[in-house]
Structure 1
Amino acid sequence: MTLIEPAGVGARINRAVVRSRAMSRAGLLERTFSAAFRGLVYPQIWEDPLIDMEALALTPGDHVVAIASGSCNVLSYLTASPASVTAVDLSPAHVALGRLKVAAARHLPDHTSLANFLRHADLKSNIRLYERHIRPHLDTQTRAYWDGREDFGRRRITRFARGFYRTGLLGRFIGTAHILGRIYGVNPRQLLSATSLAEQRQFFDTRIAPVFDSRSFRALTSLRASLFGLGIPPAQYEALAGGHAGGVAEALKQRTEKLVCDFPIRENYFAWQAFGRGYGPGEDASLPPYLERRNFELVRRNADRLAIVNESVTDLLARRADGSIHAFVLLDAQDWMTTRQISELWGEITRTAAPGARVIYRTAAADSPLPGRVPDAILDQWDYLESRSMNLGARDRSAIYGGFHLHVKR
């Protein structure tokens, strides 16, 4: 059984990514990325939920609209008990993943089962957990996706018995990076044994930095398709490259330096995903809030407040009432958008935003993409908290973005 792609999904993804003529070099790259994005890209979202929740300051009366991606963050928002969270995504695979995680949080019998399924995600017993506790509660389309067959005839759900965080475009990209590291004489996993920031800094300076400085690595990353595995389309590649004199290679070096050197390894599950290809061991391991033992009952109790749908943020907001939304999470989606798309999005955000509503987003470059692209009549209704945005961005453990941005409705 395979997932039947909903009508219009391909067209929606194309509208988000494709800007150039079909037979141009840029057009071919954009269409290649669009096709890849219809499958699973992010087994785990790559934005720090602690920073999100600090910026959003969610309260029990808040209604949240967010982009889902791997759904770790929207599930983590449930620990603040908002009134509702509506998560959207253009990728049917991401929607299927989010709905699977919600069903797991609601119906697995205990925290140990949830940890086995979504933290370790590499145990044969996870298939039994799926069949007994999760599958009966999935909608038809989501069940069809996870029961569907992939390469070599295996059901997709068996990824949770084989190492889920090694799958998807991002998981395979990280695996390829480990192979390249070995070619350059570096074992990325050795970083995980560091016991201090000083040891982490030494590992970066002596082992990782020389790879980024090599001529061959710079040549590799000069190819726009080289970063498709990070979920970076051609338009965002240009933004990333344009923000650094040394181009993409220098940008990646600086972001990796922050990931390796600015936060203790034991406190940063993003570093564990990058260098260990999974979450760390032990009861005190760094985890997304929704997977922490202390939050198990709270997330389960609030899970029915989270809905995940396959559409764009703009289309969803067009059906919402004026002044009805209190928090918006756009991830890095605006890096993909044309001026018209950003303007239309902010028109709907401004119409549906309640007084004091918060909007957060991240960007590949440091600067916000809004000035000069969104009409002043719209932007004048918002306060941009520049210094707070910079402070929050500096503390984002995911480390891969150039900017974090927070706006508050006047």
Structure 2
Amino acid sequence: MTDLAPETELPRSSKLKAALLQHRALSRDGLSERLFGMLFSGLVYPQIWEDPEVDMAAMELGEGHRLVTIGSGGCNMLAYLSRSPERIDVVDLNLHHVALNRLKLAAFRYLPDHAAVVRMFGAAGMRTNSCNFDRFIAPNLDAESRGYWNGRRLDGRRRITAFNGNFCRTGLLGRFIAAGHLLASLHGVRLDRITKAKTLSEQRHYFDTQIAPLFDKPLVRWITRRKSSLFGLGIPPQQYDELASLSDGKSIAAVLKSRLEKLACDFPVAENWFAWQAFARRYPGPDEGRLPAYLARENYDAIRTNAGRVTVHHASFTELLAGKPAASVDRFVLLDAQDWMNDRQLNALWSEITRTAAPGARVIFRTAAERSVLDGRLSPALLDQWHYLAERSRELGAGDRSAIYGGFHIYARKG
């Protein structure tokens, strides 16, 4: 591991660029990929957008399991610790996410209590958070991550001071959600008002009368015809094409409307912290609803006890697995990373997954479209070693409260 010098910016990651770029630089697709890569080279996800309770049910996660997962915002990795797995290896090609995952782990290990952790990651306007970082976390944080959080933003303030305000409003995703609120307000709609609903029928009424009509507005339809419109969600050009294939191939307004409808109407808002992030740009307060699973009081002791079982790597999934012994991993969490891959990358990944999979291993992932990305693309010699749990995948996918994916998929190792 190469330490970053304190007070400096992170270098652009050649690993991240290699994963993103599929086309010639001067082609339309190549330019689109490079624009996405430039945006994705910073902090993207202050929180993860996959439901950890769905993940844990799909994996049948339990004590003794050895996991490899993509890090992203780090929330799910921490939630998995509540089931006391033996080991978790976290990989991410984005150095900002690596620093965030390490910070969250250190916070659970070294902040004095659960309340301090919630103030750090689940509340807003807590100006003591940077002081708690200096006192409790920084002395116990690796030099690379400590240098990152002590580094300066464009406004001259240390990065860690973002936690004194509302960290969930930072990053590419936070800015994208802010832009969505601005667009809605230009049409006279206050998205946060749906969080006042007391019943599913009230949520449905607000969506049908206030939110749904936005997708018929000319400005919204014009914006959603452009691939760059979803870069703020961390959706690369390849995923946009998948989404567009579900509608008229030109605008994804209808697809976005359907996904937002699930987020707004299928789950009680008090039970869905993803809805709070999307519609209120914050987590619910103590009397308003549930916090993310990793911040729940009932999970705190287990996460704190098990935090030392996690190692965060700046590496690709395939790269990390290549260094592991055969049959040494029980659970693999790919998020939606395969949507970005070409056939060569996909087969290289599954070659390593199959080699390192222990008996009874499971792989879970999500896709922008409904179908599995493995169909017709993965070598039959690899695919034949796995069983697709189609019915269970559909059942759990329907219960994913993040609501932004078209498909959820579970594969179990045969034999």
RMSD between aligned alpha carbons? 1.2
Q: 1:240 aligns with which of 209, 227, 243?
A: 243
Q: 2:158 aligns with which of 134, 150, 155?
A: 155
Compute the displacement of 1:5 (Å).
3.8
1:368 aligns with 2:357: no
2:357 corresponds to which residue?
353
Compute the displacement of 1:122 (Å).
3.1
User: Could you tell me how far apart the structure 1 residues matched to 2:169 and 2:290 are?
Assistant: 18
Range with bigger deviation, 48-57 or 289-298: 289-298
SS of 1:260's equivalent?
A: helix
Q: 2:73 aligns with which of 70, 74, 98?
A: 70
1:31 corresponds to which residue?
34
Q: Deviations over 1:191-223 (max 9, x none)?
A: 010010001001111101110122221111111
1:387 corresponds to which residue?
391
Compute the displacement of 1:284 (Å).
7.0
2:256 corresponds to which residue?
252
Gaps of 5+ in 1: none
User: Could you tell me how far apart the structure 2 residues matched to 1:243 and 1:67 are?
Assistant: 27
User: Could you tell me how far apart the structure 2 residues matched to 1:75 and 1:276 are?
Assistant: 24
Q: TM-score, normalised by structure 1?
A: 0.97
User: Could you tell me how far apart the structure 2 residues matched to 1:50 and 1:122 are?
Assistant: 28
* Paired AA for residue 369 in structure 1: V
User: Could you tell me how far apart the structure 1 residues matched to 2:328 and 2:31 are?
Assistant: 40
SS of 2:252's equivalent?
A: helix
1:396 aligns with 2:400: yes
User: Could you tell me how far apart the structure 1 residues matched to 2:189 and 2:354 are?
Assistant: 49
SS of 1:151's equivalent?
A: coil
1:191 aligns with 2:194: yes
1:169 aligns with 2:190: no
Q: 2:267 aligns with which of 257, 260, 263?
A: 263
1:92 aligns with 2:120: no
SS of 1:66's equivalent?
A: strand
1:206 corresponds to which residue?
209
Which aligned runs of 4 or more in structure 1 are off by greater than 3 angstroms? 1-6
Question: What is the percentage of aligned positions where both structures have the same residue?
Answer: 52
Q: Deviations over 1:261-303 (max 9, x none)?
A: 0000000000000011111011673122221111211110000
User: Could you tell me how far apart the structure 2 residues matched to 1:85 and 1:4 are?
Assistant: 28
| 1:75–1:290 contact (8 Å) kept in structure 2 | yes
1:125 aligns with 2:132: no
Within 5 Å, which residues of 2 pair with 1:323-338?
A: 323-338=327-342
| 1:200–1:260 contact (8 Å) kept in structure 2 | yes
* Paired AA for residue 240 in structure 2: Y
Change beyond 3 A, Cα 1:215–1:185: same
Change beyond 3 A, Cα 1:343–1:3: farther
| 1:314–1:345 contact (8 Å) kept in structure 2 | yes
Within 5 Å, which residues of 2 pair with 1:273-288?
A: 273-282=277-286, 285-288=289-292
* Paired AA for residue 10 in structure 1: S
Range with bigger deviation, 346-355 or 25-34: 25-34
User: Could you tell me how far apart the structure 1 residues matched to 2:348 and 2:93 are?
Assistant: 17
User: Could you tell me how far apart the structure 2 residues matched to 1:169 and 1:284 are?
Assistant: 26
User: Could you tell me how far apart the structure 2 residues matched to 1:72 and 1:185 are?
Assistant: 33
Range with bigger deviation, 276-285 or 26-35: 276-285
1:296 corresponds to which residue?
300
Aligned residue pairs total 408
* Paired AA for residue 404 in structure 1: F
SS of 2:267's equivalent?
A: coil
Q: Deviations over 1:77-107 (max 9, x none)?
A: 0000000011100000000000000000000
User: Could you tell me how far apart the structure 1 residues matched to 2:10 and 2:210 are?
Assistant: 44
* Paired AA for residue 87 in structure 1: V
Compute the displacement of 1:37 (Å).
1.4
Compute the displacement of 1:28 (Å).
1.5
Q: Deviations over 1:335-360 (max 9, x none)?
A: 00001000000000000001110100
Change beyond 3 A, Cα 1:177–1:284: closer
| 1:236–1:364 contact (8 Å) kept in structure 2 | yes
2:382 corresponds to which residue?
378
User: Could you tell me how far apart the structure 2 residues matched to 1:12 and 1:282 are?
Assistant: 41
SS of 1:40's equivalent?
A: coil
User: Could you tell me how far apart the structure 2 residues matched to 1:69 and 1:2 are?
Assistant: 23
Range with bigger deviation, 31-40 or 142-151: 31-40
* Paired AA for residue 325 in structure 1: V
SS of 2:137's equivalent?
A: helix
User: Could you tell me how far apart the structure 2 residues matched to 1:313 and 1:283 are?
Assistant: 40
| 1:217–1:249 contact (8 Å) kept in structure 2 | yes
* Paired AA for residue 45 in structure 1: I
SS of 1:399's equivalent?
A: coil
Q: 1:113 aligns with which of 105, 111, 116?
A: 116
* Paired AA for residue 71 in structure 1: G
| 1:122–1:164 contact (8 Å) kept in structure 2 | no
User: Could you tell me how far apart the structure 1 residues matched to 2:194 and 2:124 are?
Assistant: 22
User: Could you tell me how far apart the structure 2 residues matched to 1:216 and 1:283 are?
Assistant: 37
| 1:3–1:141 contact (8 Å) kept in structure 2 | no
